[in-house]
Amino acid sequence: MSAGHADHADTIPVRVVAIDEVTPQIRRFTLEPIAGGELPAFSGGSHIIVVMRGAQRVYRNPYSLMSSPHDLGNYQISVLRVDPSRGGSAHMHEQVRVGSEIEIAHPVNLFALAKLARKHLLLAGGIGITPFMAQLHDLRAGNVPYELHYATRSPAHGAYCGLLSSTEPSCVSLYHDSNKHFIDIEGLLGRQPLGTHVYVCGPAGMITRVLDTAHALGWPDSHVHYEKFAAPPTGDAFDATLLRSGIEVHVQPDQSLLEAIEAAGVDAPYLCRGGVCGFCRTEVVSLDGELVHNDHFLSDEEKASGKVIMPCVSRAHCRKLVLDL
C-alpha cells in the first residue's frame, strides 16, 4: 500500500521438509524455499512472521530463527503449543505436515547481539532459547566471552539442553524448576565486568525480573536487551473505522486490532507484532471510550494522551475508535 513500509505482500513461499518432536509441547520445523536456492541472509536473534491461513482467519505469528545464520538453505523455527491456543500454535501443531507449503515474511532482527560488547550474558527461559540458538553460531566463532543460562521446567521440557550441554559445556549452565534449581539473577548481574550486555528471552515474569534487577544494580538501558513473544492480549470486542479508506472493522475478543485490520484487506505496517518495535504506531483520530495499551514502546505520556495506539497488541474499551489509516 503506502511506500516506505515493509511490503507484506512480498512473502516467501516455503515448504516444510522436516518436523521434529523436541518435547511433548515443542516442535521444530525446517523450512526450505519452494523456489530453491537460498533464503534471505539474517543475523542471530532475527525472527520471521509465519502466515497461517486457518479456516476462520489468518494468523501471523512471529517465531525466532534458530538455525545457523551461515546456512541459508533452510530456516528452522520452534513452536511451543500454547494451551489454550488462540489458533496459531495449534494450527502449526495440528494442520502443518511435512510437505505443507506455507508463507513467511522476511527476517527482521530486533534482538541482535551488541557488536562492541566485551561479554555477552544470555538468559533463556523455556522456548525463549530459540533466538540464542542462532546467536550461538556467531558467538562460538568469535572471541568475545559469553555465558548462556537456560532455565526450563524440567529436564524433559528442556528443548535443547542435550544439544547445548554437549557442544558448549564451559559456557552453558542449565537450570530446572523441578530440581528447585533457579538462575541467580541478582548474583549474576551483580558481578559482570564493565562492557557486558545482557539478553533475556523467556516468560514475561522472567523478563520483568531481569529488567528490574538490572535497573536496581545500575545497569544502563543500553546494555539490557529483551525479546518477548506473546499472543496479543484478549479483551472486549469493539469497532474501529479506518479514516483514509472509510473501512469499518469489528475486532473480536480474541483477535488483535492489527489482525482485524488485515482481515479487512488493509496492509497495515508492522514488524514485531509484540508491542516493542514501534513500527505499527498509529494515530487515533477520535474515540468514545478509552485505549487499553499493552505495548512496551509508547511513553507514559503518549499512552495517557489517547492520541496514539500500537494495533499489534493494544485494544480499546469503547464502541467506536477512528484511526488515521
Partner 1 sequence: MLITGIRSKPVYAPLQPDLAGRYHVMVGHGVGAAPLARLLGELISAAPAALAHTRIWYVRDPASPQSNADAFRAAHVAELRTFDRVDPLLADLTAAMDQALMGTRLYVAGPESFMGLIMRIAHEFNLAGDEVRAEECGTMARRVHCIHCRAIIEGVRTNIVECGCKRWLVVRDHYSRRLAAYMGVMVDAEAPGERPDVKEVFL
**What is the binding site for partner 1 (CB under 8 A)?**
114, 116-118, 189-196, 215, 217-223
Peptide bond into 155 cis (omega under 30): no
Let me know if 229 is exposed, middle or buried by CB neighbors in 10 A (0-12, 13-18, 19+): buried
Contact residues for 315 (Cβ-Cβ < 8 A; gap 6+): 233, 235, 236, 238, 251, 256, 257, 291, 292, 294
Q: Which three cell numbers stand for residue 187?
A: 548474583
Q: How many Cβ atoms from other residues are within 10 Å of residue 110's Cβ?
A: 19
Query: Of 121 and 325, which CB lies nearer to partner 1 in the complex structure?
Result: 121
Q: What is the CA radius of gyration of the chain?
A: 20
Query: Of 144 and 163, which CB lies nearer to partner 1 in the complex structure?
Result: 144
Give ∠ CA 101-268-5 in degrees, rounded to 5.
90
Torsion of CA 70, 71, 75, 78, to 10 degrees: -70
Query: Of 119 and 153, which CB lies nearer to partner 1 in the complex structure?
Result: 119
Kindly give the pairing relationship between strand 146-152 and strand 172-176: parallel
Q: Considering the complex, what minimum distance in angstroms separates the CB of residue 49 from partner 1?
A: 30
Q: Considering the complex, what minimum distance in angstroms separates the CB of residue 278 from partner 1?
A: 19
Distance CA 190, CA 201 (A): 19
Q: Considering the complex, what minimum distance in angstroms separates the CB of residue 163 from partner 1?
A: 29
Q: Considering the complex, what minimum distance in angstroms separates the CB of residue 217 from partner 1?
A: 5
Query: Of 40 and 195, which CB lies nearer to partner 1 in the complex structure?
Result: 195
Dihedral sign from CA coordinates of 87, 292, 237, 263: negative
Question: Considering only CA atoms, which of 299, 247, 252 is closest in space to residue 1?
Answer: 247
Query: Of 137 and 223, which CB lies nearer to partner 1 in the complex structure?
Result: 223
The phi, psi pair for 152, rounded to 5°, reads -135, 165
Q: Considering the complex, what minimum distance in angstroms separates the CB of residue 144 from partner 1?
A: 10
Q: Considering the complex, what minimum distance in angstroms separates the CB of residue 183 from partner 1?
A: 17
Contact residues for 310 (Cβ-Cβ < 8 A; gap 6+): 275, 278, 280, 281, 282, 293, 294, 295, 297, 298
Q: Considering the complex, what minimum distance in angstroms separates the CB of residue 223 from partner 1?
A: 7
Q: Considering the complex, what minimum distance in angstroms separates the CB of residue 231 from partner 1?
A: 33
Distance CA 119, CA 54 (A): 43
Query: Of 219 and 238, which CB lies nearer to partner 1 in the complex structure?
Result: 219
Q: Considering the complex, what minimum distance in angstroms separates the CB of residue 45 from partner 1?
A: 18
Query: Of 152 and 192, which CB lies nearer to partner 1 in the complex structure?
Result: 192
Query: Of 220 and 265, which CB lies nearer to partner 1 in the complex structure?
Result: 220
Instruction: Decide if 55 contacts 36 (C-beta within 8 A).
Output: no
Query: Of 115 and 180, which CB lies nearer to partner 1 in the complex structure?
Result: 115
